[in-house]
Amino acid sequence: MALGKVAVVATAQTELRPLWGEAQHIDLISAVVTSVFKGSGFSIDDVDFVIDSGSDVLDGRSISNCGFLGALGAHRKEEARVEADGIWALQYGVNKIRSGASSVGLIVAYSKPSESLVENYWASQVEPFYQRPVGFSQRAAAGIQAQRYLADRGCSERDLAELAARRWADAKAHANVQIGDVPDAEAILASGESALPLTELMMARPVDGAVAMLIVDESSARRAGNNPVFITGMGSGTDCHAYADRDPLKLASLEGAAAMAARAAGWSAQQADVVELSAHSVVGEMLAMDVLGLDEGKTAINRSGGALPADPIMATGLCRAAEAVRQLREPQLYGGGAPSRAVVHGAQGVGMQNNCVMTLEV
Amino acid sequence: MGHHVAIVGVGQTHHARRRTDVSQAGLVREAVDRALADANLEMGDIDTVVVASGPVLFGAVNHPELWVANAIGAKGKPIFRVTSGGGAGFAGALAGYYQVAGGYAGRTLVVAYDKLSEGPLQYSISTLYDPFWGREFAVGIMGFSAAYWRARMDALGHTEEAAAMVSVKNRRNAIANPYAHMKKEVTVDDVLNSKPLCWPIKLLDVPPISDGAAAIVLSNEKLAAKSTQKPAFINGIAYCCEADNAAERSLMLSEPLALAAKKVYRAAGITNPRRQFDVVEVQEPYSCFELNYYESLGLCPPGEAAQLVASGATDLDGDIPVNPSGGCMGANPIGAVGVVRLIEGATQVMGRNESNQIKDAKLALVQSGGGWANLRGCAVLSA
Amino acid sequence: MYSAPESMPLDMPTFHAEISLPYTLTPGGAAGTFLAEMKNRRIVGSRFANGEVVAPAQDFSASDGEPMASFVEVPQTGEITAFTRVDGTIIAFIKLDGCANEFPHRVLGDLDAVRIGQRVKAEWDDGVENSILAIKGFVIAEDAAVGTVSDLPEPEEAIGSLDYALALPYEHAYGPYYGRMFDEIKGFGRVMGVRTADGDDALLPPREIDDISHTPTGTWKTCADTGTIRGCSIINMEFIGQTKKPPYVYAEIVLDGASTRLIHLIEIDDVEFAKKNIGPGTRVRAIWTDGERKGSMADIERFEVIEE
């Protein structure tokens, strides 16, 4: 059965800041929901459904979508809360449109980690009987991941620092991320220990922000004539819960997710012009590049800087998609060329347990 | 157009006030094992998994889908979690429905659960409220629900007795439900004389608190035959919302439910719900809600729910039986309830309901919802 | 593509909230048995049908979901397969002798002495039961003999429920709208909302975007501190986390001049009297605190019925 195609026709994102102290969740959300329509040819009245990603634990509120429905523009529409990174909300929306049930969907993801202790968000994810009491969580997983990666690949902490420094510089140059001084490799190595051998600046930096994306069916996209970006492949996968049970030297669930997306799209990540990855640490990003078979010399990887300089936790993967859309639609902002294919990636769970990949094409 | 989607296997736990023999993950496993066996499938036949549960604070595990995935042998598979308070299970089924309808999966396993014995329920639910605006005065959603039931009674001239009749009917029906744990017949007087908790809500207007899980296998039309000769097709399904503190919220009817019903009835060709449906399953977190749903779903004209329940039409032998399973009054594992109601509706049209099979049931209506009565949906199932 | 909220930044302190909940978690058969055996200083593992032993015990195989076959007692010795240090604590993966898996635990001792492949043994903490922290951690044991797995035919009965607590502190931003509203409450004892684009009644709480039309809201407006009950219920039950002793009335009140609900409570002496005399349509007034206003809804102590 031939299923319809789905296009991204507009995106909007707030600046990503370590602390949006003067704005509430609803302020960030309503800002992106208001601006996503500007110049899109669509209005809030055209929207059939809203799918949103956020975290009750980060928000400090149960069923937190319930309190944000007005800001989301969801009043008296279909709405779904995906308590996962926003890229899964996008995946849900794409399926809904492909089923033929709806034509226009609004996808929103946000986080304000500055309002809580992010450590609690991670610690509460591991099962409470064996791992949680001994203090095993996100940072320990990344530290162990790094120890094994460095030993296996024969690289050094300096290699990690240099990659992280490039990402910060790219974020400062290309993305709407609040950054003061860009740290160089020395500064990254010299930042405090997070999880041996990783320093604080080798971990993704939590930031506040929101992102919105407008997706539509093919005929609506063609009618709007607004340089649509089509979503042509999707895949996701989940690894073992306990990080100790996983293959330490690859992200097996990312491999599965990428293969699934590639089967649908007919091409794989190595053939992409643009790649936007989400990683919880610099070593996670290296593992992701390895498992996708990417070469930084050939592919533009994380020109937005990726998640290391700016990780709005529940919005990170959707931000990657928004960044890739921008790079495909406005290549002149990135030094020209004619990129036509992008791979975007979202990850969640301790040690990047759960991964989602999408292919985008113009 | 997308794929036609059917429920081809169902499984639920024997719900209980407190299960001290299994963890949250073990509870999920029980329901999944039953659903897979019922669908004549193994985990290897499943393409994707959707996990749904109530708020994280119910069980103290954040991203619980990433934990329970291991207990069901779903390593490697696409898994994500949908939540929507009390409507979580239904919202999860809807997400799974679109994975199949949209061609992302041939078969999707949807599992929903809550293990409510593990945390303080009213406190957890009270955190639904804005911390700046009313949280310190919240009484879960019971205070809210009672307030608007009272307002409805005042406006419509209904009495507490109508809701008591709902409780009596559902509690009586639950006696035959092998998965229910609250099985005690009560009278209208018992309900009216039971302890006021948030008056007008009284103890017997309130379902039990339960540990339980429920799972369904959704399949596209082509793959359904491997599981069953008689799948339950989903002819329409939708879930709508309204902003909680919007000026125009009346709470007399459930506007989001009426909206969802309109969409679903159009998709399923329903023009006269009272006559067309053979059986209805609704999620009644308190007895009074069932009355509101009668009207919002068009089973009776607005304002006439009290007369409808009094007429006996929604009894087992009535012309539009509602909750032959006993509804939430028999068991109420909140996040799982949306899937439990789908299971009860699906098995009715498959002709193999284990509680109270309605003879020759062909068309079932299922309702579910959560939040401050502002997230509401329904589905139409047929064999 | 990018935008920022079109609102004035205000220099406001944050609003502190804490969600602090007690739990009784059920570990299930395998973890429950493992934890119950901690007091006997035994480490319980699971043996699976394929002969593999996993410790700590698991009900289901992490790799394929197969249920465990039997409990075993595993050695208290093993080796470190990986390690890191977080906040000064060394956390390592430990592979116990005879087991197929690794698991995280603490290593006690100097980082300098820790290496991959290092032999270790469990060190017990006398004061702890029913927790994996009954094993305080693992200590270097260079010469520890390689232990063997043994059957555990009659383990302790699994623990059915464990006390647990979650305490989540928050520092919520007020944002420009709550910020102004609470400033007005604190400074002037008045409740202010914002008008919608097309009406004079104010939205409470105020916000930048109208929930219904998703258009910008209008000007600020002072509401009265009197209003009408839209819905109310009489609270006669106690529950964990409750801030007031019942009975009292939970009320959703529309203040005069507002269009949306304010949530508060009304004190009552007598339930039967309240049933008859307090309901939708009842007129009420705010009773402000006698003390210093702090800039929160609690500056209104309660509402009381206006005697006609």
Query: For chain B, what is the mean pLDDT?
Result: 97
pLDDT digits (tens, 9 = 90+) for A277-318: 999 999 999 999 999 999 998 999 999 999 999 999 999 999
User: Which of C17, C56, C116 lies at the smallest CB-CB distance from A60?
Assistant: C17
Percentage of chain C beyond pLDDT 90 is 93
Burial class, B294, CB count within 10 angstroms (exposed 0-12 / middle 13-18 / buried 19+): buried
Average pLDDT over residues A48-56: 98
- Does residue C3 have a pLDDT over 50? no
Range of the domain at B27: 5-121+209-224
User: Which of B61, B78, B104 lies at the smallest CB-CB distance from A237?
Assistant: B78
B73 touches chain C (CB under 8 A): yes
Average pLDDT over residues B189-204: 98
CATH value at residue B78: 3.40.47.10
Grouping H, G, I as helix, E, B as strand and the rest as coil, residue B251 is coil
Contact state of C172 with B72 under an 8 Å Cβ cutoff: no
- Does residue B219 have a pLDDT over 70? yes
Which pLDDT value is given to residue C12? 60
Contact state of B123 with C241 under an 8 Å Cβ cutoff: yes
If one counts every other C-beta atom within 10 angstroms of the C-beta of residue A340, the result is 14
Which chains border B (3 or more CB–CB pairs < 8 Å)?
A: A, C
Contact state of A115 with C172 under an 8 Å Cβ cutoff: yes
Question: Which amino acid is located at C302 in the chain?
Answer: R
pLDDT digits (tens, 9 = 90+) for A25-41: 999 999 999 999 999 99
> What is the C-alpha to C-alpha distance for residues B335 and B342, in angstroms, rounded to an integer?
13
pLDDT digits (tens, 9 = 90+) for B237-249: 999 999 988 888 8
Query: For chain C, what is the mean pLDDT?
Result: 94
Which pLDDT value is given to residue C11? 53
Residue pointed to by tokens 């075993």? C72
- Does residue B56 have a pLDDT over 90? yes
Domain ranges in chain C? 27-160, 181-305
Cβ contacts of A77 on chain B, cutoff 8 Å: 240-241
CA-based radius of gyration for chain C: 30
Model confidence, pTM = 0.97
B56 touches chain C (CB under 8 A): no
pLDDT digits (tens, 9 = 90+) for A132-191: 999 999 999 999 999 999 999 999 999 999 999 999 999 999 999 999 999 999 999 999
- Does residue A352 have a pLDDT over 80? yes
> Is residue B93 domain-resident?
yes
pLDDT digits (tens, 9 = 90+) for A235-256: 999 999 999 999 999 999 999 9
Which pLDDT value is given to residue B246? 86
What does each C-alpha distance from C306 to B8, B129, C267 come to in angstroms? 60, 27, 13
Domain A6-116+206-224, CATH: 3.40.47.10
Contact state of C132 with A133 under an 8 Å Cβ cutoff: yes
> Is residue B87 domain-resident?
yes
Q: What angle do CA A243, B24, A89 make, to 5 degrees?
A: 65
Which residues, 6+ apart, have CB-to-CB distance to B383 below 8 Å? B230, B231, B232, B233, B349, B350, B351, B362
Which pLDDT value is given to residue B21? 97
Cβ contacts of B242 on chain A, cutoff 8 Å: 69, 75-76
Backbone angles phi, psi at C290, to 5 degrees: -75, -25
B359 touches chain C (CB under 8 A): no
Contact B58, B335 (CB under 8 A): yes
Cβ contacts of A76 on chain B, cutoff 8 Å: 240-242, 255-256, 259
**How does strand C103-108 pair with strand A104-111?**
unpaired
pLDDT digits (tens, 9 = 90+) for C109-151: 999 999 999 999 999 999 999 999 999 999 999 999 999 999 9
Please give the order of strands across the beta sheet that includes C191-195.
Answer: C202-203, C191-195, C220-223
User: Which of A69, A116, A248 lies at the smallest CB-CB distance from C170?
Assistant: A116
Cβ contacts of C174 on chain A, cutoff 8 Å: 24
Average pLDDT over residues B348-376: 97
Taking Cα atoms as reference points, which of A165, A176, A199 lies closest to residue A20?
A176
Q: Rounded to a whole number, what is the distance in Å from the CA of C202 to chain A's nearest CA?
A: 16
Q: Rounded to a whole number, what is the distance in Å from the CA of A100 to chain B's nearest CA?
A: 5
Q: Rounded to a whole number, what is the distance in Å from the CA of B329 to chain C's nearest CA?
A: 20
- Does residue A224 have a pLDDT over 90? no
- Does residue C1 have a pLDDT over 70? no
- Does residue A333 have a pLDDT over 70? yes
- Does residue C41 have a pLDDT over 80? yes
CA-based radius of gyration for chain B: 19
Phi-psi region of C175 (alpha: psi -120 to 50; beta: other; left: phi over 0): left
Contact B333, B59 (CB under 8 A): no
A255 touches chain B (CB under 8 A): no
> What's CA A238's distance to the chain center, in Å?
16
Q: What angle do CA A254, A256, A259 make, to 5 degrees?
A: 105
Grouping H, G, I as helix, E, B as strand and the rest as coil, residue B30 is helix
pLDDT digits (tens, 9 = 90+) for C210-252: 999 999 999 999 999 999 999 999 999 999 889 899 999 999 9
Contact A63, A56 (CB under 8 A): yes
Which chains border A (3 or more CB–CB pairs < 8 Å)?
A: B, C
Which pLDDT value is given to residue C4? 42
Which residues, 6+ apart, have CB-to-CB distance to B46 below 8 Å? B36, B74, B77, B107, B108, B109, B217
Question: For residue A109, what are its two tokens?
Answer: 């993801």
Query: For chain A, what is the mean pLDDT?
Result: 96
Question: For residue B101, what are its two tokens?
Answer: 């309808």
Contact state of C239 with B140 under an 8 Å Cβ cutoff: yes
- Does residue A1 have a pLDDT over 70? no
B vs C: CB pairs below 8 A: 196
> Is residue B13 domain-resident?
yes
Taking Cα atoms as reference points, which of A316, A318, A279 lies closest to residue A301?
A279
Closest-CA residue in chain B for A264? B104
User: Which of A66, A88, A92 lies at the smallest CB-CB distance from B98?
Assistant: A92
Percentage of chain B beyond pLDDT 90 is 96
Closest-CA residue in chain B for A100? B1
Which pLDDT value is given to residue C13? 87
Contact state of A239 with B256 under an 8 Å Cβ cutoff: no
